[in-house]
Protein backbone atom coordinates (compact mmCIF):
# COMPACT_ATOMS: atom_id res chain seq x y z
CA UNK A 1 0.00 0.00 0.00
CA UNK A 2 1.22 3.46 -0.91
CA UNK A 3 -0.14 6.36 1.17
CA UNK A 4 -0.37 9.61 -0.82
CA UNK A 5 -0.95 12.35 1.73
CA UNK A 6 -1.62 15.07 -0.88
CA UNK A 7 -3.41 13.51 -3.88
CA UNK A 8 -4.57 16.90 -5.18
CA UNK A 9 -0.95 18.06 -5.38
CA UNK A 10 0.11 14.96 -7.33
CA UNK A 11 -2.77 15.41 -9.75
CA UNK A 12 -2.03 19.08 -10.37
CA UNK A 13 1.70 18.41 -10.64
CA UNK A 14 0.96 16.17 -13.60
CA UNK A 15 -1.81 18.12 -15.33
CA UNK A 16 -0.78 21.71 -14.65
CA UNK A 17 3.01 21.57 -14.47
CA UNK A 18 4.61 18.52 -16.09
CA UNK A 19 2.26 18.46 -19.10
CA UNK A 20 2.94 22.15 -19.66
CA UNK A 21 6.74 21.79 -19.47
CA UNK A 22 9.18 20.62 -22.11
CA UNK A 23 11.34 17.56 -21.59
CA UNK A 24 14.39 19.82 -21.53
CA UNK A 25 12.89 21.91 -18.73
CA UNK A 26 12.16 18.82 -16.63
CA UNK A 27 15.69 17.49 -17.24
CA UNK A 28 17.18 20.85 -16.25
CA UNK A 29 15.12 20.82 -13.06
CA UNK A 30 16.38 17.35 -12.10
CA UNK A 31 19.95 18.40 -12.83
CA UNK A 32 19.51 21.44 -10.59
CA UNK A 33 18.08 19.31 -7.79
CA UNK A 34 21.10 17.01 -8.05
CA UNK A 35 23.52 19.95 -7.91
CA UNK A 36 21.62 21.51 -5.02
CA UNK A 37 21.61 18.24 -3.07
CA UNK A 38 25.36 17.75 -3.31
CA UNK A 39 26.57 21.35 -3.40
CA UNK A 40 27.36 21.65 0.32
CA UNK A 41 29.77 18.74 0.07
CA UNK A 42 31.58 19.94 -3.06
CA UNK A 43 34.31 22.47 -3.81
CA UNK A 44 33.85 26.23 -3.48
CA UNK A 45 33.29 26.88 -7.19
CA UNK A 46 30.01 24.93 -6.87
CA UNK A 47 29.23 25.69 -3.24
CA UNK A 48 29.59 29.48 -3.41
CA UNK A 49 26.95 30.21 -6.10
CA UNK A 50 24.42 28.09 -4.21
CA UNK A 51 25.28 29.92 -1.00
CA UNK A 52 24.68 33.25 -2.75
CA UNK A 53 21.27 32.07 -3.94
CA UNK A 54 20.33 30.81 -0.46
CA UNK A 55 21.49 34.07 1.13
CA UNK A 56 19.38 36.05 -1.33
CA UNK A 57 16.29 34.03 -0.48
CA UNK A 58 16.87 34.40 3.25
CA UNK A 59 18.04 38.01 3.25
CA UNK A 60 21.40 37.17 4.79
CA UNK A 61 25.00 37.96 3.90
CA UNK A 62 26.45 35.35 1.52
CA UNK A 63 29.91 35.98 2.97
CA UNK A 64 28.81 34.83 6.42
CA UNK A 65 28.95 31.04 6.40
CA UNK A 66 29.18 28.27 8.94
CA UNK A 67 32.65 27.57 10.30
CA UNK A 68 34.19 24.39 8.96
CA UNK A 69 33.97 22.60 12.32
CA UNK A 70 30.21 23.09 12.38
CA UNK A 71 29.81 21.77 8.84
CA UNK A 72 31.81 18.68 9.75
CA UNK A 73 29.81 18.20 12.93
CA UNK A 74 26.57 18.38 10.95
CA UNK A 75 27.89 15.71 8.63
CA UNK A 76 28.84 13.43 11.53
CA UNK A 77 25.32 13.89 12.84
CA UNK A 78 23.81 13.04 9.43
CA UNK A 79 26.07 10.04 8.74
CA UNK A 80 26.81 8.53 12.16
CA UNK A 81 24.09 10.11 14.26
CA UNK A 82 23.46 7.22 16.64
CA UNK A 83 27.16 6.73 17.24
CA UNK A 84 27.64 10.41 18.04
CA UNK A 85 24.47 10.25 20.11
CA UNK A 86 26.03 7.72 22.44
CA UNK A 87 28.62 10.25 23.56
CA UNK A 88 26.03 12.98 23.94
CA UNK A 89 23.87 10.76 26.15
CA UNK A 90 26.82 9.72 28.30
CA UNK A 91 27.77 13.34 28.86
CA UNK A 92 24.42 15.17 29.03
CA UNK A 93 21.58 12.74 29.74
CA UNK A 94 22.18 11.11 33.07
CA UNK A 95 20.65 10.84 36.51
CA UNK A 96 16.89 11.08 36.80
CA UNK A 97 16.27 13.00 33.55
CA UNK A 98 14.54 10.09 31.81
CA UNK A 99 12.44 9.22 34.85
CA UNK A 100 11.22 12.80 35.22
CA UNK A 101 10.43 13.05 31.51
CA UNK A 102 8.40 9.85 31.72
CA UNK A 103 6.44 11.35 34.62
CA UNK A 104 5.69 14.48 32.58
CA UNK A 105 4.26 12.41 29.75
CA UNK A 106 2.14 10.29 32.06
CA UNK A 107 0.65 13.31 33.83
CA UNK A 108 -0.28 14.97 30.53
CA UNK A 109 -1.79 11.75 29.15
CA UNK A 110 -3.96 11.55 32.26
CA UNK A 111 -5.17 15.13 31.82
CA UNK A 112 -6.01 14.49 28.16
CA UNK A 113 -8.11 11.42 29.02
CA UNK A 114 -9.74 13.01 32.09
CA UNK A 115 -10.82 16.00 30.02
CA UNK A 116 -12.51 13.96 27.26
CA UNK A 117 -15.87 13.70 29.09
CA UNK A 118 -15.98 17.51 29.26
CA UNK A 119 -15.82 17.82 25.47
CA UNK A 120 -19.47 17.77 24.49
CA UNK A 121 -18.75 17.66 20.76
CA UNK A 122 -17.37 14.09 21.06
CA UNK A 123 -19.87 11.24 21.30
CA UNK A 124 -19.38 8.26 23.59
CA UNK A 125 -18.25 5.88 20.85
CA UNK A 126 -15.49 8.16 19.60
CA UNK A 127 -14.51 9.10 23.15
CA UNK A 128 -13.94 5.46 24.10
CA UNK A 129 -11.78 4.91 21.02
CA UNK A 130 -9.79 8.07 21.78
CA UNK A 131 -9.09 6.76 25.29
CA UNK A 132 -7.93 3.49 23.75
CA UNK A 133 -5.56 5.37 21.45
CA UNK A 134 -3.96 7.19 24.39
CA UNK A 135 -3.69 3.92 26.32
CA UNK A 136 -1.86 2.34 23.36
CA UNK A 137 0.48 5.30 22.87
CA UNK A 138 4.12 4.21 22.70
CA UNK A 139 6.60 6.49 24.46
CA UNK A 140 10.28 6.84 23.55
CA UNK A 141 12.43 9.14 25.66
CA UNK A 142 16.14 9.98 25.44
CA UNK A 143 17.69 7.41 23.11
CA UNK A 144 16.98 4.09 21.38
CA UNK A 145 17.73 0.89 23.26
CA UNK A 146 17.38 -1.30 20.16
CA UNK A 147 18.14 -0.96 16.45
CA UNK A 148 20.65 0.13 17.62
CA UNK A 149 21.13 0.17 21.36
CA UNK A 150 22.96 3.47 21.72
CA UNK A 151 24.49 2.37 25.01
CA UNK A 152 26.01 -0.76 23.47
CA UNK A 153 29.23 -0.44 21.42
CA UNK A 154 28.56 -3.92 20.00
CA UNK A 155 25.06 -2.97 18.84
CA UNK A 156 26.39 0.22 17.23
CA UNK A 157 29.17 -1.69 15.50
CA UNK A 158 26.67 -4.17 14.05
CA UNK A 159 24.32 -1.39 12.97
CA UNK A 160 27.02 0.49 11.02
CA UNK A 161 28.95 -2.62 9.92
CA UNK A 162 28.34 -2.08 6.18
CA UNK A 163 29.20 1.63 6.26
CA UNK A 164 32.89 1.80 5.39
CA UNK A 165 34.46 5.22 5.78
CA UNK A 166 37.71 6.39 4.18
CA UNK A 167 40.15 8.62 6.10
CA UNK A 168 41.04 10.90 3.18
CA UNK A 169 37.89 11.56 1.09
CA UNK A 170 35.15 13.74 2.49
CA UNK A 171 32.92 13.55 -0.59
CA UNK A 172 33.23 9.78 -0.94
CA UNK A 173 32.20 9.39 2.69
CA UNK A 174 29.31 11.77 2.05
CA UNK A 175 28.10 9.57 -0.83
CA UNK A 176 28.67 6.35 1.08
CA UNK A 177 26.63 7.47 4.04
CA UNK A 178 23.72 8.53 1.82
CA UNK A 179 23.89 5.30 -0.15
CA UNK A 180 24.01 3.24 3.04
CA UNK A 181 20.97 5.06 4.40
CA UNK A 182 18.94 4.50 1.20
CA UNK A 183 19.89 0.80 1.07
CA UNK A 184 18.90 0.49 4.74
CA UNK A 185 15.49 2.01 3.95
CA UNK A 186 14.89 -0.30 1.00
CA UNK A 187 15.68 -3.31 3.16
CA UNK A 188 12.59 -2.55 5.20
CA UNK A 189 10.28 -2.81 2.18
CA UNK A 190 8.00 -5.82 2.45
CA UNK A 191 8.92 -6.49 6.07
CA UNK A 192 6.82 -5.87 9.19
CA UNK A 193 7.46 -2.34 10.53
CA UNK A 194 10.31 -2.17 13.02
CA UNK A 195 8.71 -0.27 15.90
CA UNK A 196 12.00 0.03 17.78
CA UNK A 197 13.46 2.29 15.07
CA UNK A 198 13.95 5.99 15.86
CA UNK A 199 13.56 8.65 13.16
CA UNK A 200 15.77 11.15 15.05
CA UNK A 201 19.18 11.01 16.68
CA UNK A 202 19.46 11.29 20.49
CA UNK A 203 21.25 14.65 20.28
CA UNK A 204 18.59 16.39 18.19
CA UNK A 205 16.63 19.27 19.71
CA UNK A 206 13.28 18.11 18.43
CA UNK A 207 10.38 15.73 19.04
CA UNK A 208 7.77 13.99 16.91
CA UNK A 209 4.57 12.00 16.79
CA UNK A 210 4.49 9.05 14.40
CA UNK A 211 0.87 8.18 13.51
CA UNK A 212 1.53 4.77 11.93
CA UNK A 213 3.22 3.56 15.13
CA UNK A 214 1.08 5.72 17.45
CA UNK A 215 4.23 6.83 19.24
CA UNK A 216 5.68 10.04 20.63
CA UNK A 217 9.44 10.47 20.71
CA UNK A 218 11.57 12.91 22.71
CA UNK A 219 15.31 12.72 21.99
CA UNK A 220 17.70 13.60 24.81
CA UNK A 221 18.68 16.77 22.92
CA UNK A 222 15.40 18.53 23.65
CA UNK A 223 15.52 17.66 27.33
CA UNK A 224 17.68 20.66 28.16
CA UNK A 225 17.39 24.43 28.69
CA UNK A 226 15.06 26.16 27.95
CA UNK A 227 12.68 23.22 27.54
CA UNK A 228 13.73 21.17 30.53
CA UNK A 229 16.11 21.25 33.47
CA UNK A 230 16.45 18.54 36.08
CA UNK A 231 16.77 21.25 38.73
CA UNK A 232 14.14 23.58 37.25
CA UNK A 233 10.90 24.29 39.12
CA UNK A 234 7.99 22.30 37.74
CA UNK A 235 6.19 25.39 36.47
CA UNK A 236 9.10 26.09 34.10
CA UNK A 237 9.44 22.50 32.96
CA UNK A 238 5.73 22.15 32.28
CA UNK A 239 5.73 25.48 30.43
CA UNK A 240 8.63 24.14 28.36
CA UNK A 241 8.90 20.40 27.72
CA UNK A 242 5.42 19.84 29.14
CA UNK A 243 3.89 21.89 26.34
CA UNK A 244 6.02 19.99 23.81
CA UNK A 245 4.76 16.68 25.23
CA UNK A 246 1.17 17.90 25.00
CA UNK A 247 1.85 19.17 21.48
CA UNK A 248 3.05 15.77 20.26
CA UNK A 249 0.24 13.93 22.05
CA UNK A 250 -2.33 16.24 20.44
CA UNK A 251 -0.87 15.46 17.00
CA UNK A 252 -2.49 12.06 17.40
CA UNK A 253 -5.84 13.88 17.32
CA UNK A 254 -5.21 16.75 14.89
CA UNK A 255 -6.67 17.01 11.39
CA UNK A 256 -4.17 14.43 10.10
CA UNK A 257 -3.30 12.20 13.08
CA UNK A 258 -6.95 11.64 13.98
CA UNK A 259 -7.38 9.45 10.90
CA UNK A 260 -5.08 6.78 12.42
CA UNK A 261 -6.44 4.49 15.09
CA UNK A 262 -4.85 3.08 18.26
CA UNK A 263 -2.87 0.55 16.19
CA UNK A 264 -1.69 3.12 13.65
CA UNK A 265 -4.09 1.93 10.96
CA UNK A 266 -5.54 4.42 8.50
CA UNK A 267 -9.22 3.74 9.20
CA UNK A 268 -12.35 5.72 10.02
CA UNK A 269 -12.77 5.29 13.78
CA UNK A 270 -14.71 8.51 14.37
CA UNK A 271 -18.47 8.66 13.98
CA UNK A 272 -19.73 10.92 11.21
CA UNK A 273 -21.36 13.25 13.73
CA UNK A 274 -18.15 13.77 15.73
CA UNK A 275 -16.10 14.19 12.54
CA UNK A 276 -18.44 16.97 11.44
CA UNK A 277 -18.15 18.69 14.83
CA UNK A 278 -14.35 18.43 14.66
CA UNK A 279 -14.25 20.08 11.23
CA UNK A 280 -16.50 22.91 12.39
CA UNK A 281 -14.33 23.63 15.43
CA UNK A 282 -11.11 23.29 13.41
CA UNK A 283 -12.38 25.93 10.97
CA UNK A 284 -12.22 28.46 13.82
CA UNK A 285 -8.44 27.93 13.97
CA UNK A 286 -8.11 28.18 10.19
CA UNK A 287 -9.88 31.54 10.20
CA UNK A 288 -8.03 32.85 13.27
CA UNK A 289 -4.51 32.03 12.08
CA UNK A 290 -5.22 33.18 8.53
CA UNK A 291 -5.65 36.68 9.95
CA UNK A 292 -2.13 36.68 11.42
CA UNK A 293 0.55 38.28 9.27
CA UNK A 294 4.30 38.68 8.87
CA UNK A 295 6.01 41.70 7.38
CA UNK A 296 8.33 41.42 4.41
CA UNK A 297 10.45 43.99 2.62
CA UNK A 298 8.97 47.16 1.12
CA UNK A 299 5.92 46.96 3.35
CA UNK A 300 4.84 43.58 1.96
CA UNK A 301 2.40 41.81 4.27
CA UNK A 302 1.97 38.04 4.05
CA UNK A 303 -0.81 36.17 5.82
CA UNK A 304 -0.24 32.92 7.66
CA UNK A 305 -1.82 29.98 5.81
CA UNK A 306 -4.40 28.75 8.30
CA UNK A 307 -5.05 25.53 6.35
CA UNK A 308 -1.37 24.64 5.91
CA UNK A 309 -0.61 25.24 9.59
CA UNK A 310 -3.80 23.75 11.04
CA UNK A 311 -2.27 20.54 12.42
CA UNK A 312 0.55 22.37 14.18
CA UNK A 313 -1.81 25.05 15.49
CA UNK A 314 -4.14 22.45 16.98
CA UNK A 315 -1.15 20.77 18.59
CA UNK A 316 0.17 24.08 19.98
CA UNK A 317 -3.18 25.00 21.50
CA UNK A 318 -3.93 21.54 22.85
CA UNK A 319 -0.43 21.08 24.23
CA UNK A 320 -0.52 24.39 26.09
CA UNK A 321 -3.83 23.63 27.78
CA UNK A 322 -2.91 20.06 28.68
CA UNK A 323 0.46 21.04 30.13
CA UNK A 324 -1.02 23.84 32.23
CA UNK A 325 -3.76 21.65 33.68
CA UNK A 326 -1.29 18.83 34.41
CA UNK A 327 1.05 21.20 36.25
CA UNK A 328 -1.73 23.05 38.08
CA UNK A 329 -3.27 19.83 39.38
CA UNK A 330 0.11 18.71 40.68
CA UNK A 331 0.86 22.15 42.12
CA UNK A 332 -2.50 22.55 43.89
CA UNK A 333 -2.29 19.06 45.42
CA UNK A 334 1.21 19.72 46.75
CA UNK A 335 0.78 22.89 48.81
CA UNK A 336 1.53 21.07 52.07
CA UNK A 337 3.84 18.15 51.30
CA UNK A 338 6.13 20.05 48.89
CA UNK A 339 6.90 16.81 47.09
CA UNK A 340 7.48 18.63 43.82
CA UNK A 341 9.87 21.46 43.13
CA UNK A 342 7.96 24.69 42.61
CA UNK A 343 10.44 26.94 44.40
CA UNK A 344 10.22 30.63 43.56
CA UNK A 345 13.03 32.11 41.49
CA UNK A 346 15.19 34.87 43.00
CA UNK A 347 14.42 38.30 41.59
CA UNK A 348 11.07 37.22 40.11
CA UNK A 349 8.87 37.60 43.16
CA UNK A 350 6.60 39.89 41.15
CA UNK A 351 5.52 36.94 39.00
CA UNK A 352 3.44 34.01 40.23
CA UNK A 353 4.27 30.39 39.33
CA UNK A 354 1.18 30.43 37.09
CA UNK A 355 2.53 33.44 35.21
CA UNK A 356 6.01 31.98 34.96
CA UNK A 357 4.53 28.86 33.35
CA UNK A 358 3.36 31.03 30.45
CA UNK A 359 6.55 33.11 30.43
CA UNK A 360 8.60 29.98 29.83
CA UNK A 361 6.18 28.88 27.12
CA UNK A 362 6.91 32.14 25.35
CA UNK A 363 10.63 31.76 25.97
CA UNK A 364 10.94 28.40 24.21
CA UNK A 365 9.81 29.97 20.93
CA UNK A 366 11.98 33.10 21.10
CA UNK A 367 13.59 33.56 17.69
CA UNK A 368 14.88 36.10 15.22
CA UNK A 369 14.85 36.04 11.42
CA UNK A 370 15.24 38.31 8.46
CA UNK A 371 12.12 39.58 6.72
CA UNK A 372 12.91 37.41 3.70
CA UNK A 373 13.18 34.28 5.83
CA UNK A 374 9.99 35.18 7.71
CA UNK A 375 8.07 35.48 4.44
CA UNK A 376 9.52 32.27 3.04
CA UNK A 377 8.56 30.38 6.21
CA UNK A 378 5.06 31.84 6.23
CA UNK A 379 4.56 30.60 2.68
CA UNK A 380 6.05 27.12 3.05
CA UNK A 381 6.30 26.01 6.70
CA UNK A 382 3.52 23.90 8.24
CA UNK A 383 4.31 25.64 11.53
CA UNK A 384 3.03 29.15 12.18
CA UNK A 385 5.68 31.85 12.72
CA UNK A 386 7.06 31.62 16.30
CA UNK A 387 5.32 34.85 17.35
CA UNK A 388 1.95 33.42 16.41
CA UNK A 389 2.68 29.98 17.83
CA UNK A 390 2.79 31.78 21.18
CA UNK A 391 0.31 34.62 20.80
CA UNK A 392 -2.24 32.52 18.91
CA UNK A 393 -2.26 29.86 21.61
CA UNK A 394 -2.51 32.27 24.54
CA UNK A 395 -5.30 34.20 22.82
CA UNK A 396 -7.33 31.00 23.03
CA UNK A 397 -6.25 30.16 26.59
CA UNK A 398 -8.76 30.97 29.31
CA UNK A 399 -6.06 30.12 31.84
CA UNK A 400 -3.71 32.75 30.41
CA UNK A 401 -6.43 35.40 30.46
CA UNK A 402 -7.24 34.60 34.10
CA UNK A 403 -3.63 34.46 35.24
CA UNK A 404 -2.73 37.82 33.69
CA UNK A 405 -6.20 39.34 34.20
CA UNK A 406 -6.56 40.33 30.55
CA UNK A 407 -9.75 42.33 29.91
CA UNK A 408 -12.29 40.63 27.63
CA UNK A 409 -12.20 41.99 24.09
CA UNK A 410 -8.45 42.68 24.04
CA UNK A 411 -5.91 41.04 21.74
CA UNK A 412 -4.82 38.62 24.46
CA UNK A 413 -8.38 37.83 25.53
CA UNK A 414 -10.71 38.06 22.54
CA UNK A 415 -14.40 37.42 23.14
CA UNK A 416 -14.32 34.49 20.69
CA UNK A 417 -11.83 31.75 21.47
CA UNK A 418 -11.06 28.68 19.38
CA UNK A 419 -10.96 25.40 21.26
CA UNK A 420 -10.75 21.71 20.46
CA UNK A 421 -8.61 19.68 22.79
Calpha distance 229→241 (Å, rounded): 9
322 is catalytic: no
DSSP collapsed to 3 states, the chain:
CCCCCCHHHHHHHHHHHHCCCCHHHHHHHHHHHHHHHHHHHCCHHHHHHHHHHHHHHHCCCCCCCCCHHHHHHHHHHHHCHHHHHHHHHHHHCCCCHHHHHHHHHHHHHHHHHHHHHHCCCCCHHHHHHHHHHHHCCEEEEECCECCCECCCHHHHHHHCCCCCCCCCCHHHHHHHHHHHHHHHHHHCCCCCCCCCCCCCCCCCCCCEEECCCCEEEEEHHHCCCCCCCCCCCHHHHHHHHHHHHHHHHHHCCCCCHHHECCCCCECCCCCHHHHHHHHHHHHHHHHHHHCCEEECHHHCEEECCCCCCHHHHHHHHHHHHHHHHHHHHHHHCCCCCCCCCCCCCCCCCCCCHHHHHHHHHHHHCCCCCCHHHHHHHHHHCCCCCHHHHHHHHHHCCHHHHHHCCCCCCECCECCCCCCCC
- Say which of 149, 312, 316, 354 is annotated catalytic: 316
316 is catalytic: yes
- Say which of 109, 149, 204, 248 is annotated catalytic: 248
Which of the residues are catalytic?
A: 248, 316
Amino acid sequence: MLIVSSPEYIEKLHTELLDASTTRTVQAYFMWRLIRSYSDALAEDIRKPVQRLTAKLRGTNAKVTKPRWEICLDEVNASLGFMAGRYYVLDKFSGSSKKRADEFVQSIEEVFVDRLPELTWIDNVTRARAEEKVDNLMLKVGFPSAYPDVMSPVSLSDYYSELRMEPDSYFKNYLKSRTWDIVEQWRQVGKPPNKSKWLMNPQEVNAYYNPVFNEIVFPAGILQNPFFGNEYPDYLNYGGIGVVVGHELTHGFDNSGRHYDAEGRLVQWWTNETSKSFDEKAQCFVDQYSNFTVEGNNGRVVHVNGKLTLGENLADNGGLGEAYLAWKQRYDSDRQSKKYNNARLPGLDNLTPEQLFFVNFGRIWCSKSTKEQAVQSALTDEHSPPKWRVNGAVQNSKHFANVFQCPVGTAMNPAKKCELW
